[in-house]
Amino acid sequence: MARKHLRTVVRMAVAGAVLLAAAAVALAVWVFAVLPDPSGLVHRNPTDWAFLERARRAGQRVEHRWVPYDAISDELKLAVLVAEDINFFDHRGFDRDELRFAIRDWLAGKRLRGASTISQQLVKNLWLSSRRSVWRKLEEAVLTWKLERSLSKRRILELYLNVVQFGPGVFGAEAAARRYFGIPASELTAEQAAALAAALSRPSRWHPGADSKAYRARVALILKRMHGAGWLRAKL
């Protein structure tokens, strides 16, 4: 009887080990073969991405022009960082405080929080939908991990500033600077940069020239943060 019981336990242990191994292989295939590979963006600029295609499908006239990192003013880089992810250069793609708050809210039955860091937002813009679900957040987390392992911080910020939406159908810093101010992105002032950075949270309604008290308050807040973040300029 004891031997029979032992054989049963061994068979169950072997079956469990096989299932775990199969699950590990499936997970590895999903992570490294099914999901997009960010390493392809080390030297290649994307010509198409999820949020751009969504705007086109909605019938919007899309404006976009790619420019390199050095052709974007430091004022805009600073404005975007203080508005969206002031710890960008110090984390590995995830803000631990935001993650803790997101898990707390999810366990409490609240709506899933949106992307927080610039790396997460870039992943969302390039490859994912705006839908919020546990599965999409898992995809976002894995892709963010892969992105941070593949690209430098400067390259991630360059990509972000070129693909993010600054207004209805207006994608990237260069198109936004020319659309709203008639100048290249390299010439943006602190005030203009704050006006563009403030549009990131609600690009369909907030943009330079928008008649919104809340938008103007957001611009003022970003400008105030920029004045207090001189230490961040050295990292740009």
Does 137 lie in the same domain as 73? yes
Lowest-confidence pick of 14-28, 59-73, 85-99, 132-146: 14-28
With a cut of 50, say whether residue 23 has pLDDT above it.
no
Helices H / strands E in the chain, number of each = 11, 3
Share of the chain above pLDDT 90, in %: 72
Strands 165-167 vs 170-171: parallel, antiparallel or unpaired: antiparallel
Residue 177 is part of which domain span? Answer: 35-233
Domain shared by 143 and 221, yes or no: yes
Residue 176 and residue 96: Cα distance in Å, rounded? 31
For residues 63 and 136, membership in a common domain is answered with yes
Q: CA nearest 208: which of 165, 179, 187, 172?
A: 179
Measured N-to-C along each axis, helices 213-227 and 74-84 cross at an angle, to the nearest 10 degrees, of 110
Q: Predicted confidence band at 231 (pLDDT cuts at 50, 70, 90)?
A: very high
Q: Are residues 173 and 127 in the same domain?
A: yes
144 & 104 share domain: yes
* Residues 92, 122 contacting (CB under 8 angstroms): no
Residues 27, 92, single domain; the answer is: no
- Tell me, yes or no, whether 22 and 44 share the same domain: no
Give the mean model confidence (pLDDT) for residues 90-107. 74
Contact 220, 227 (CB under 8 A): no
Non-local CB neighbours of 105 within 8 Å, separated by 6+ positions: 111, 112, 113
Task: Provide the CATH number for the domain around residue 214.
Answer: 1.10.3810.10
Are residues 91 and 30 part of one domain?
Answer: no
What pTM did the predictor assign?
0.84
Structural domain count, the chain: 2
Q: pLDDT value at position 178?
A: 98
